[in-house]
Structure formats: structure tokens, C-alpha cells
Amino acid sequence: MTQPTDMRERQARLSQIIEDLLGEAKAQGADAAEAGVNNDAGLSVTARMGEVETIEHTRDQGLGISVYFGQRKGSASTSDLSPQAIRDTVRAACNIARYTSADPCAGLAEAELMAREIPDLDLYHPWPLEPREAIDLCLRTEAAALDLDPRITNSEGATLNSHSGLQVYGNSHGFIGGFPSSRHNISCAVVGGEGGVMQRDYWYSAGRRADDLEAPEQIGRKAGERTLARLGARRISTRETPVIFLAETATGLLRSLTGAISGSSIYRKSSFLLDRVGERIFPNFVQVGENPRLPRGLGSAPFDSDGVATYAKPIVRDGVLQTYLLSSYSARKLGLHTTANAGGVRNLHITPGELDLPGLLREMGRGLLVTEMMGHGLNMVTGDYSRGASGFWIENGEIAHPVEEITIAGNLGEMFSQLLAVGCDEERRGSTRTGSWLIERMTIAGEA
């Protein structure tokens, strides 16, 4: 979409700041420099138990610069974008660089890799929302949950967040690029009780456009339904069993893959997937990829944090690991080439299968459906995995009863290799897209 005039003017102003900053770095003796500046605004409203709890307007701006004297690097940042503050920030970065040790891998990404053409990825859809409108949306969301059933007795509130911003990056290769973006979400969490035992659950919707969000009443109703479904939860005995990770929890497993193959994990030799490129790590039906230029994607960007043009790539093809995910720095550390992943992976996805969630439950027959995980229990070096969990016990392909206060344990490498199916119930509310995962066997620690 065509940018509004005011946004084009803001981008031009921030681009000029970057240009001035890079010129100042050169004037102070730096051989090379790179800088990023952002300008953001947002509205956040929370209503709880029919009353407005918070209304927050936010405005934020910041600038960061890195300078290079040969292969010595110094960095500094500021939230003051005045000319004098910029000069002082550049001077601080230069002073740091002059006293640091040389790093043979430090420096800008190669000039020929810069994103010379920056496509419009349809990321900017501001929501001209007045606070009273946001309050009404929150109240409607919460009311839909509270009115669903008398067993829902309390609320943690409904929250609306609307954010839009602009970021510009440039370096002394002559590259300056920027793009605006927006993100909006509505969430709700409620508490229900039965027999003196309380449970809570939530639901949310997110998107680049307000029109992409689910209706407030639908969000509240789902939060209420999920809470009611957890009533009567109990522990189960320790056992080994098949496990289905609901799509929203399976996103964490997929992100663990990218963490294990990130350049920093690999050059530090702190990954269970070290030296595994070209080897099978999933069954041959598994396809994992990255699509950084997906229109309106929640992770989309035309260039990475080094200014390198992003591009779609396979990460796992037919179960075989195809690549590490590298910035220009980590690529030099490994003697490889950048994969345009400075700043992370963008729009990660795994190809869905043909079964929806009920189909996966029938396929599993008997086992555990995990709907929520707690804590952090992944050893990236060994792949050992252990986290608190809750969900539902499945018998004859159907939900038998809710489950709580258990721990699921396994090894992530084995979990990948034992993946039996990926559902078509894709989670699309973030930058990672996946359906639910059916894993052949894991250990459940519960009652003795």
C-alpha cells in the first residue's frame, strides 16, 4: 500500500538523521559505521470486571550506532535525536572502539548483499482508535467471557494493544533503508471455579490490520470456553505415552529448532545440532522454511539487522537440515556466508499435514494433549527437554478429562525424529506458523 504523506516525511527525516550520523562517524575517524533509529507510538487499554483499569499512550524513539576502527568495534545509543546528542553518541562509540581489542570477524556485511530494492510488504495499517473505542472493545471482550457461564467468577482483564512504528537502518556502504509497520492485538484471561478449585485460561488475536483480528465477543467466548474446559483437572500417574502439542505450544518446539541452528549457538559449540547440516533430523515428510517477505506477515522484513536483503529459504527439506541461520558476524566466525538472519528468523513455518486436531486425536488414540507449558527446561547443548505442562488426557481418540501439575520430558533431537504428524490447524497469530505436533512417545512425570 502507498505510505501516507506524514509517514514518508518521517522516514525522510529519520533517513537524514542516519546520513548525518554516518557522516559524523567518518569525521571522527571511523573506518566504517552502521546505525539504526526507530520512532514508535502505541495505545494500550485494560478493562477488568467491567471497569477501566489502565489507559496508556506510549511514544518511543531511539538510536543506536556501531563504529569500526579497523576491526575494533564500539557501540552507543541514545533516545535524544538532537544534533548535539547524535555527535555525543558517535563520540562515545568511537572512544569505546579505540580501546577495545580487534575482532577479526567484526565489520559490516558485504556491500553487494545490501537490500538495494525494498518492496512494500503491506506491513503498515495504523488503527485510528480513540481510547473510548478501545475501552468499549475491551469491555465487550470481557463481558462475553463472564456471561458465558456462572462458573466463570473472576477476570484477569481484557487488554487491547495497538502499535505502529518506523525503523530506519543505514551503514557506510551507502545503504539507508526503512519501513513502517503496525501490530494490533486483543486478549482476555478469566478465572472459573467448581468444587472450590479454580482454573484460568486465556485467548488472544493479533494481526497487522485491525480487520485481521477476531471479533471481541469471539475472543472472550474462547477464553471462557478454555477456562471451563480445565475445570476438574487432575494429575495422572508417571508413564510413557504419545503426546500431541497443540499448535500454539508447538510453535515453541519449532523456535527451539532455530535456536539450535543459530550462528551464535553453532560457533560457541553449544548446540545439539552442531555439525548436522546435510543430515536427517526429522522424518522425511517434514519441510521447514522461512519466508521473510510474506505480505502482512507478523515477522516480515525486507532486510535483516545487517541491511542484508532477506529471502525465502528451506531450513529442513525432506527431513534433512539444509542450513544454519547466520548473521554476517556468525558467518565469518564459521567461515561461511550470511543467510540474512541477523536479528533472527522471520516467518518460520512447517508444512501442515492433512489431519485437523480431532483427526490427530483419533490417530493418537490414547495419550496426552498438551495445551500449556510452564518454565524453561531445554538444555541446548544436549537437547534434553523437561517442562511443566497441563492439557487433556485422551482415550479412544477423544478428550477424557483435563490434566494438570505434570512434567513432560524427553530429548529434543529424539522428539524431532519421532514426529509422526503435523496438523492442518495452523497457529497464525505470530511469526511462527505450525499445526499441532503428534510425537510418538515422551515421559510424563505425575503421581507416583
Mean pLDDT rounded to a whole number for the chain: 95
Per-residue pLDDT of 366-387, as tens digits, reads: 999 999 999 888 999 999 999 9
Q: Contact at 8 Å (CB) between 33 and 99?
A: no
**Across 199-215, average pLDDT:** 96
The CA-based dihedral angle spanning residues 262, 267, 273, 276, taken in that order and rounded to the nearest 10 degrees: 110
Q: Contact at 8 Å (CB) between 205 and 215?
A: no
pLDDT band at 2 (very low <50, low <70, confident <90, very high): low
Is the pTM here over 0.85, yes or no?
A: yes
Smallest CA-to-CA distance from 65 within 179, 178, 180, 170 is with 170
**Distance from the first to the final alpha carbon of the chain:** 59
**Contacts of 138 by beta carbon, 8 Å cutoff, 6+ apart:** 45, 46, 47, 52, 157, 158, 159, 160, 186, 216
User: According to the model, what pLDDT value does residue 388 have?
Assistant: 95
pLDDT band at 3 (very low <50, low <70, confident <90, very high): low
User: According to the model, what pLDDT value does residue 377 have?
Assistant: 86
On the 0-12 / 13-18 / 19+ scale of CB atoms within 10 A, 374 is exposed
pLDDT band at 196 (very low <50, low <70, confident <90, very high): confident
**Across 118-132, average pLDDT:** 95
Per-residue pLDDT of 417-427, as tens digits, reads: 999 999 999 99
Per-residue pLDDT of 53-107, as tens digits, reads: 999 999 999 999 999 999 999 999 999 999 999 999 999 999 999 999 999 999 9
User: According to the model, what pLDDT value does residue 448 have?
Assistant: 65
User: According to the model, what pLDDT value does residue 416 have?
Assistant: 98
Q: Contact at 8 Å (CB) between 277 and 338?
A: no
User: According to the model, what pLDDT value does residue 426 have?
Assistant: 94
> How far is the C-alpha of 310 from the C-alpha of 302, rounded, in Å?
6
Strand 432-433 to 348-350 pairing = parallel
Can you read off the three cell numbers belonging to residue 199?
482454573
Strand 288-290 to 313-317 pairing = antiparallel
Going from the N-terminus, what domains does the chain have, and what CATH number goes with each? 5-229 (3.30.2290.10), 231-252+352-445 (no CATH)
